[in-house]
Structure 1
């Protein structure tokens, strides 16, 4: 079976984890601090705060942004459910806006239409690693005095207008889940240029503790910590951070290899009339965290049938990105909500394998199998 995704790890990551374990410091500590510094330097942000995963990063971002009970946050429905869940964790109300069908990111016009006096923030998702139009949404947020938060779970290594994702806004959240471009097993990172946000994020991730373990351990004098507010246990371990440091060293190479595979797909499928592929906007750089293909109305075979045939051929695929408002957990509060563009993009999209290292014979097999299935599935004029 050719998998949909696979993390790229070598003996470097195993050795780093091994060495960290032997130091005796395996929870949040010096390796986490080193990973944060290197990540901030990579993205161009002033600060980076490591957390247990991207969802907890989004939750903390909502808190430091001041989102609370009854506050509305505009976000896409076409995103993983963690995006909107993070809003509900703080008592906020997710307000779902449409997406742009050509890049799967929030539609600016529909987002503005959804703004009300209760709107507190916009949660902008860089879907499957495709950079959203950050500048346009920053202007919109400024116009209405809103806070802009970026869900960059899939976007590490992508760039917007020549600058790495993570450097543009005061709250940008990343994921290191195994399906992402680099992984720490699980884990997340928040980048920010706001020193006050940085300090409060670090406070909240460790039970509201005024002095962290590492500082107490290194101190030559007696220190007692205070717990200044109700916080959470959202820490990254030093074992994860040690792996993350090695992954970060490989990140640019991994992205380049992913782009080579994506460009093979683009070249192979460019003349198939019943599909549309994602592409880079001018000035942007895409990490191809996933390779999504949209099947238009000329396709005489359903998305699910294509997936079944690919599976029968030994190739894993995934459906297009979910629409949260149609999930069971949200249906009761989204009665009557229609987002036809999001629903169409979700229902007609298929994600095919892309990972590093993917052998050329497997790339060719995916291309040939998908092309063969689609060649007999075009509506004749």
Structure 2
């Protein structure tokens, strides 16, 4: 057996791409009068809103904080239920708990791996306040069906688009469509501000609530003040949080935003290379892209056809690691996490998501990769799969 790794150095599953102009932009802000929330934050928000086609964008310290803000703006509170997918990072559900609401998990579509609108419909009741669909891996959710349900039952739609900057749904950019949409600016996402999140919306009322929420519930807006003691005066009108982005982060995000189309184009190029190679391997199912959806491909996930393999997912995962390929698994279904089990969620409520989790591996995908890197991943996958082929 060939024990020499395909690569001499380790290839991570995801990574930021910081270039010299990004560094210079940050240095310029460090030399300016503003380091915390200042004019660069406002500029970044305006640029971001323009890119996705929304009227407003509000930045936050991270994507989780942004989701928390969206749940607050939507009025989610004690006794409210919010339907979301289990096939996501915990933040998509935690944000509901922060507001005293209850996350309700709808199972996924077995082809797209996104939340299944039919399962959502089955779970709607008089307590349902909102739906948080997640564009898993960057593949847009069936938003027409989600919006039809929301309209019928008077629900708020908060898209979790942490994976989907640059994606389109029926020629509309994700971020311009629903009541509110969250984007993440974590280093493994499409662009980064180090840490950060954004909510986009076309609703002025949501916009104003979000801006105030991220800054302790404080306002200096003369039209909103209950009293006015003078030009120094401000009021804390509700319990908000310190969730603000800094100018240092915002300028990095702004610089990166100028590169988003190039970054997404590279991701799609590498996806094509993966799909061509893996379509030939019956032991692997490649991702499906629904009609009318153009994914921005945050993640590339292969599904193992384990009945055609002698090895387990864990053995194949470890085999790829031995080839210096930085694989991962996205995600452990949220309702299976220990905390959610402790508060009463049961296994078996989302069988499609639970089965998917047992069969998937995330392969490296990020724009700073080269074609040689992609070919190394392909070679490593073929090598390991061949070791366990029945």
Partner of 2:323: 313
For 1:140-161, what per-residue CA distance to the aligned partner results, in whole angstroms no more than 9, with x for missing partners?
1111111111111111111111
Local SS of the residue matching 1:85: helix
Partner of 2:340: 330
Partner of 1:132: 141
Q: 1:358, CA displacement in angstroms?
A: 1.0
Local SS of the residue matching 1:137: helix
Q: 1:375, CA displacement in angstroms?
A: 2.7
Partner of 2:33: 24
Q: 1:245, CA displacement in angstroms?
A: 0.6
Q: Is the 8 A contact 1:273 1:378 kept in 2?
A: no
Local SS of the residue matching 1:125: coil
Distance (whole Å) between structure 1 residues aligned to residue 139 and residue 115 of structure 2? 11
Partner of 1:300: 310
Distance (whole Å) between structure 1 residues aligned to residue 323 and residue 347 of structure 2? 39
1:43 aligns with 2:62: no
Q: Is the 8 A contact 1:320 1:345 kept in 2?
A: no
For 1:69-119, what per-residue CA distance to the aligned partner results, in whole angstroms no more than 9, with x for missing partners?
111111111110111100100000011110012111111111111112111
Q: 1:374, CA displacement in angstroms?
A: 1.4
1:359 aligns with 2:348: no
Local SS of the residue matching 2:220: coil
1:345 aligns with 2:356: yes
Partner of 1:244: 253
Q: 1:355, CA displacement in angstroms?
A: 1.2
1:171 aligns with 2:159: no
Q: 1:345, CA displacement in angstroms?
A: 0.9
**Structure 1 residues 198 and 292, CA gap change in structure 2 (3 angstroms):** same
Task: Note the aligned Cα RMSD (angstroms).
Answer: 1.3
Distance (whole Å) between structure 2 residues aligned to residue 115 and residue 37 of structure 1? 35
Q: Is the 8 A contact 2:89 2:334 kept in 1?
A: yes
1:15 aligns with 2:27: no
Local SS of the residue matching 1:23: coil
Q: Is the 8 A contact 2:313 2:359 kept in 1?
A: yes
Local SS of the residue matching 2:294: coil
Partner of 2:225: none
Aligned length: 371
Structure 2, gaps ≥5 residues long: 1-9, 222-229
For 1:260-283, what per-residue CA distance to the aligned partner results, in whole angstroms no more than 9, with x for missing partners?
111100011111112111132222
Partner of 1:195: 204
Local SS of the residue matching 1:253: helix
Q: 1:336, CA displacement in angstroms?
A: 5.3
TM-score, normalising length: structure 1: 0.95
Q: 1:208, CA displacement in angstroms?
A: 1.4
Distance (whole Å) between structure 2 residues aligned to residue 360 and residue 109 of structure 1? 40
* Structure 1 segment 1-381 matched on structure 2, within 5 A: 1-211=10-220, 222-296=231-305, 297-332=307-342, 333-335=344-346, 337-379=348-390
Local SS of the residue matching 1:318: coil
Using the TM superposition, name which of 282-291 and 342-351 deviates more: 282-291
Distance (whole Å) between structure 2 residues aligned to residue 161 and residue 321 of structure 1? 27
Distance (whole Å) between structure 1 residues aligned to residue 45 and residue 220 of structure 2? 18
Local SS of the residue matching 1:293: strand
**Which ranges of 4 or more aligned residues in structure 1 deviate by more than 4 Å?**
none
Using the TM superposition, name which of 145-154 and 236-245 deviates more: 145-154
Q: 1:337, CA displacement in angstroms?
A: 4.4
Local SS of the residue matching 2:44: helix
